[in-house]
Amino acid sequence: MARQPLISGIMLSLGPNSFADSSYLYRMDAGEWRAELDAMRRFGIDWLGCWSGLETCVERRAAVPGGDLIGFLLREAEERNMRLSLSCGFCPGWWEEWNLPKALAFTGRSIERPRRRYGAFRSFDSWYLDYEIYLRWGEEAEQMAELYRGVTAYCHEADRRPVMVSPFFQPDTSGRCGVFRYGEPAEYYPFWRDLLAGSGIDILALQDNGGQHLGCFGDGERLPFIREVIRACRDAGVRYWGNVESGELPVASVDAFAERYGAGGDVNDRRIRPDWRAVPLPKLERKLELAARDAEKIMSWGYMEFFRPGGGAENRRNYQAYCSYCNSARGVEVERASSELLAAGSV
């Protein structure tokens, strides 16, 4: 049964990553955070995927009462019928070292403190597995299968909360958007069916923009990959969520990307960051409608960067436009209070 074509979950980076600085999250006081969470609820969000930095976040003092950002968010989430998924950690150097014992030991340490500190919260919904991949072959594929199986086992042994992963696919056949081995869509089905069936992972949310998140990739390039992964989830007995990304790098073609940024460039390079934009609303609507056909839930990367009202005037325009679409999709009028808050820039 199709779901409503609406975003109900977002990714919230709690630490350094290649795209954005999250330090502002720790400077926000309780009032600012409550306004932030209320703005999310008006947007339709009831789920936060907390990734990238949870292992340091539990040590980092925030401006909220008690200084514990995760504890504060979990308490506030319970009052708003929201849920959080907490990262089980990313072992530094994994992609360079492929040191499985080190990575699994790191995971065991990473999940123990959050489990003990936050395990009693009803709003602590699941564990987020931070190792994002598209395809691997040979020994690397075997290592990824062992890593996923080992990390999931740690999490399940700790508290039986679901474990979710959000991988990506790579639609660029030219190799001009990064150094990688291209995999045909048909290769995704056996890879993910076998990995999921042997790992114990509960939920897979596929990033729908493709590995480089370029605006030039349309439905024709994206859908063959999405269909194969959905089929793999069904056959492996894994719940499928959509990850309809709402941010992209607007380029007309792969050639245009390579000409402007250099062949093999990384779209997550901080020097490229100012060129990213919100996905245009008509395109976002179409992506949501496609995801709603199969996804149990639709989450998104891009809200905090391009729709969060506190992010500036352009973000507020994006937020208001999406809320209008959201309310139209639900068959209700836009709330006057929400519009007044947006106009004042107070959320």
Tell which residue, 248, 95, 266, 260, has the closest CA to residue 177.
266
8 Å CB contact between 199 and 159: no
- The CA distance from 16 to 22, in Å, is 7
By the 8 A CB rule, do 54 and 89 touch? yes
- At 145, list the tokens: 């299968």
Distance CA 43, CA 66 (A): 28
> Tell me: the pLDDT tens digits for 248-264?
999 999 999 989 888 77
pLDDT at site 59: 86
The answer to whether 265 touches 178, Cβ cutoff 8 Å, is: yes
What is this structure's pTM?
A: 0.92
Extract the tokens encoding 343.
């106009």
Query: Which distant-in-sequence residues (6+ apart) come within 8 Å of 151 by Cβ?
Result: 88, 103, 104, 107, 129, 131, 163
Q: Count CB neighbours of 23 within 10 A.
A: 10
- Residues 50-70 pLDDT 10s: 988 887 888 899 999 999 999
- Mean pLDDT of each 10-residue bin along the chain, 347 residues long: 85 79 93 98 97 84 96 97 95 94 94 93 96 94 97 94 96 84 96 97 95 89 96 98 95 91 77 91 96 96 94 97 93 49 47
DSSP state of 12: E
What whole-number distance in Å separates Cα of residue 68 and Cα of residue 306? 26
* pLDDT value, residue 21: 80
Q: What share of the chain is helix, strand, coil (3-state, %, to 5)?
A: 50, 10, 40
- So what's the pLDDT on residue 332? 59
Task: Show Cβ contacts of residue 266 under 8 Å, excluding neighbours closer than 6 positions.
Answer: 18, 178, 272
Are the C-beta atoms of 127 and 163 separated by less than 8 Å? Answer: yes
Which pLDDT score is estimated for 267?
76
Distance CA 229, CA 236 (A): 10
SS3 179: coil
